[in-house]
Amino acid sequence: MTRPNTDASDLLLDMRGLTLGVATPDGILPVVQDLSLSLSTGETLGIVGESGCGKSLTSLAIMGLLEGTPVRVLAGEIFFRGRDLLRLSPRERRAIMGNEMSMIFQEPMTSLNPVYRIGDQIIEAIREHRPMSRRAARDRALELLTMVRIPDPAGRIDSFPHQLSGGQRQRVMIAMALAGSPRLLIADEPTTALDVTVQAQILKLIVELQKDTGMGVMLISHDLGVIAETCDRIAVMYRGRVVETAGARELFQDMRHPYTRGLLDSIPEADEDVDRLSAIPGRVPTLDETITGCAFHPRCARAGAGCDSDQPALTAFAPTHFARCHYPLEPDA
Amino acid sequence: MTAILTMGRIFRGRWLATAGLCWLILVALAAIFAPLVAPYDPLEFDPLVRLSPPSQEHLFGTDHFGRDSFSRSLYGARMAIVIGFGSVVVALVAGGLAGMISAYFTRLGHVIMRIVDVLMAFPALLLALVLMTLLERSVVNTVIVIGIVYATTTARILFGMTLKLKGEVFVDAATCSGAGHASILFRHILPNLVSPLLVQASFIFAFAQLQAAALDFLGLGLPPEVPSWGNMLSESRIYVTRASWLLLFPGALIILSVFSMNLVGDALRDSIDPRFRNDIKGV
């Protein structure tokens, strides 16, 4: 199914009004509401938010991994290169997955099959879409391992996952994801389980690979620092909705939503002597709490009249800068 | 070479299990070379020496037809191994498939697992008896029936393990790389189940011996003309007071073999799940 009025040919991913809900005995609770985001070729989009804000579920919906979870797509469309992923048959979807788009996961400890040598896993991923001899696939696997800068790829290709460190496993995972030369790579918290020094290396690797291959990258993280270093554009999510989206520089220089401010303030400064860490007051509301109006208002210092009754609309502050707030922050003078 | 090293690691310090392994190797050799080792034809009647006690000529004595008990025991080892391997194959293939498919396709699984539950509600021997009365007495049918009896437990075990593995991230990762259902089940999940399947196989092999002997004894297992340890027991039970050796030797063979198989199975299981290792150190 092609989308009408597709003008930008480099538009890779275009989600429109995506709504996800989880079925419970008390009815369907929305977990992602009316999410509209797009991603172009060569662009890195960062999605940031606290646990449970729906960022991971969004990535699972794109990859079609919601099957077997209680979460369902209630409405919306996910266009990938002009085709609605939600309307594809399982066969058509499998042809795209791993080939045109792939994903890397949070836990490099469990995302590799423990009983396979890493080389065989990569070969498996390669041959899933390209019929080639094992020898040719092995050469390609070596090439991929070199690409993700595994030291001594020829010696490592026959290792089992448990023989590798967390960072190396994540590199193998990235090599597997790149097996089909995807146009879109979704990275769901790719560095969360890693040491800080390794985190930086992996992020650098993803950025470099993205530059070399020109693929679009969707990076999901709860760490604003990670996102800031790597992304061209950032979407901040809170409780299933995008509350602010802007270019990376734009967002940090001119943030409008109090929640974005709160996230930034929560990062402790290394060069300042702070006794108390600043945090956003309150807690993330649970899914079954109904909050009328802006979902953030119970925790928001700027909340005023209307915040508890009217859901604010996404308002443009600049051509590429939108925020969802009745009382947006003033730009820093 | 690595296989030998692994075996060495599994059986190190476990002299009883090692002895069991040696006994099983001996039984296997006896089965393979039965025609060369057996001093007499196991089916040959010799009325002159019927019910003679163990002696130089007849190591295990002779039965009521004057057949050499030692030769029959050697050929019985063949049956033991055929029944053991046959039942293992049937149980693992049928039970394994049922369990894995049930866990993977949950809706279909509800139906399959309820059938398994019903089969498990019967005691193993009773289920085997019922199935055997429906079928003709033959080696193949005995193997199939015993295999089905143990397929139920195998299905249960693999159902649980597949259910757990299905939720692992590497399965999601495989899905992301475009793997289909068959590829995920057999290339990504099945290799993770090999060790529990091996352990399961060793226990089924042992229990199949007991089950087969029981069926033979009740006259529902292998055809009476086939020399098997169970049939030897069954035929000689009326001579227990006059010729006790006829029950003693096949009985001892069954006990030793099943015990050995269990010991080897324990050793295998401990090498996979080391939690109980200290409780039975040195065994």
* pLDDT computed for residue B275 by the predictor: 63
Q: How confident is the model at residue B185 (pLDDT cuts 50, 70, 90)?
A: very high
Give per-residue pLDDT as tens, B65-123: 888 889 999 999 999 999 999 999 999 999 999 999 999 999 999 999 999 999 999 99
Q: Which of A68, A94, A105 sits opposite B173 (nearest CB)?
A: A105
Q: Is the pLDDT of residue B280 over 60?
A: no
Q: What is the DSSP letter of A268?
A: P
Give the C-alpha distances (Å, rounded to integers) separating B215 from B81, B154, B208: 16, 21, 10
Q: A191 falls in which pLDDT band (50, 70, 90)?
A: confident
A270 occurs within a structural domain: yes
**Does B123 reside within a domain?**
yes
**With an 8 Å Cβ cutoff, are A176 and B177 in contact?**
yes
Average predicted confidence (pLDDT) for chain B: 88
| β-pair type (A83-84, A71-80) | antiparallel
Is the residue at B164 inside a domain?
Answer: yes
Structure tokens given for B237: 């039970």
- CB-CB under 8 Å, B175 with A65: yes
- Spacing of C-alpha B128 from chain mean position: 14
What's the rounded Cα separation, in Å, for the pair B20 and B201? Answer: 16
Q: In A, which residues are within 8 Å of B194 by CB distance?
A: 115
Cα(A287)–Cα(B95) distance, integer angstroms: 41
Give the Å distances, CA to CA, from B5 to B11, B12, B222.
10, 10, 38
* ipTM score: 0.78
Residue A287 CA to residue A26 CA, distance in Å, equals 12
Place A6 in a pLDDT band, splitting at 50, 70 and 90: very low
Amino acid at A244: E
> What local confidence, expressed as pLDDT, does residue B140 receive?
93
Instruction: Give the pLDDT of residue A321.
Output: 93
Host H or E run for residue B215? helix B194-217
pLDDT bucket at A110, cuts 50 / 70 / 90 = confident
Residue B196 has pLDDT above 80, yes or no: yes
* Å between A15 CA and nearest CA of chain B: 19
Q: Is A65 on the interface with B (CB under 8 A)?
A: yes
Structural contact between residues B64 and B242, judged by C-beta atoms closer than 8 angstroms:
no
> Contact B110/B103 with Cβ under 8 angstroms?
no
To test the contact with chain A by mutation, choose from B162, B166, B176 the residue with the greatest count of A C-beta atoms within 10 A, namely: B176
A232-286 pLDDT tens trace: 999 999 999 999 999 998 898 888 999 998 888 888 777 777 677 778 888 778 8
Domain span at residue B235 reads 73-280
Among A11-20, A69-78, A188-197, A232-241, which is the least confidently predicted range? A188-197
Instruction: Tell me whether residue A192 is exposed, middle or buried, using C-beta atoms within 10 angstroms of its C-beta: 0 to 12, 13 to 18, 19 or more.
Output: middle
Question: Tokens at residue B197, please?
Answer: 């399947």
Interface check for B272 against chain A (CB to CB < 8 A): the answer is no
Query: What is residue A105's three-state secondary structure?
Result: coil
Residue partners of B136: CB distance under 8 A and separation at least 6: none
Q: Which structure tokens are listed for B232?
A: 């030897």
Count of Cβ atoms closer than 10 Å to residue A3 Cβ: 14
pLDDT of residue A74: 93
* A203 and B CB contact within 8 Å: no
Residue A324 lies in a domain: yes
Inspect the interface and report whether the beta carbons of B177 and A116 lie closer than 8 Å: no
Judge whether A295 lies within some domain.
yes
Does residue B65 lie in a domain region? no
Q: pLDDT category, B149, cuts 50, 70, 90?
A: very high
| Mean pLDDT value of segment A143-166 | 92
Residue B56 pLDDT greater than 90, yes or no: no
Total domains in chain B come to 1
The pLDDT value given to residue A187: 93
Residue A225 forms part of a structural domain: no
Chain A residues in contact with B170 by the CB 8 A cut-off are 110-114
pLDDT digits (tens, 9 = 90+) for A175-188: 999 988 899 999 99
Q: Is residue A239 domain-resident?
A: no
Cβ-Cβ contacts under 8 Å, B173 against chain A? 103, 105, 111-112, 173, 176
Name the residue facing A94 among B169, B178, B192 (closest C-beta).
B178
CB contact under 8 A, B170 and A112: yes
A56 touching B (Cβ < 8 Å): no
Nearest to B180 among A94, A105, A176 (CB): A94
Domain that holds residue A316: 257-333
Answer yes or no: is B227 within a domain.
yes
For residue B21, being part of any structural domain is answered with no
Following DSSP, what letter does each residue of B4-15 receive, concatenated? Answer: HHHHHHHHTT-H
pLDDT tens digit string along B130-147? 999 999 889 999 999 999
Let me know if residue B259 belongs to a domain.
Answer: yes
pLDDT at site B103: 94
Instruction: Chain A: give the shortest CA distance to residue B2, in Å.
Output: 16
- Per-residue DSSP letter, A33: E
Distance between CA atoms of residues A151 and B117, nearest Å: 52
**What pLDDT is stored for residue B279 in this prediction?**
58
Residue A241 belongs to a domain = no
- Give the side-chain half-sphere CA count within 13 A for A272: 9
CA–CA dist A21, B224 (Å, integer): 66
C-alpha A35 chain-centroid distance: 13
Strands of chain A, DSSP E: 11-24, 27-40, 44-48, 71-80, 83-84, 101-104, 184-188, 216-221, 233-238, 241-247, 315-318, 321-323
Res. A294: pLDDT tops 80 = yes
The CATH number that applies at residue B163 is 1.10.3720.10
For residue A328, is it within any domain? yes
Mean of all residue pLDDT scores within chain A: 88
Residue A143 lies in a domain: no
For A228, the token pair is: 């800031």
Q: Does any domain span residue B58?
A: no
* Chain B residue with the nearest C-alpha to that of A67: B172
CB B198 within 8 A of CB B77: no
Given a contact cutoff of 8 angstroms between Cβ atoms, the answer to whether B213 and B142 are in contact is no
Q: Is A110–B168 a contact, with Cβ atoms under 8 angstroms apart?
A: yes
- For chain A, say whether B198 makes contact (Cβ under 8 Å): no
Q: How many domains does chain A have?
A: 1
What pLDDT, on the 0 to 100 scale, is given for residue A235?
Answer: 95
User: How much of chain A exceeds pLDDT 70, in percent?
Assistant: 96
Contacts of B178 in chain A (CB under 8 A): 94-99, 128-129, 180
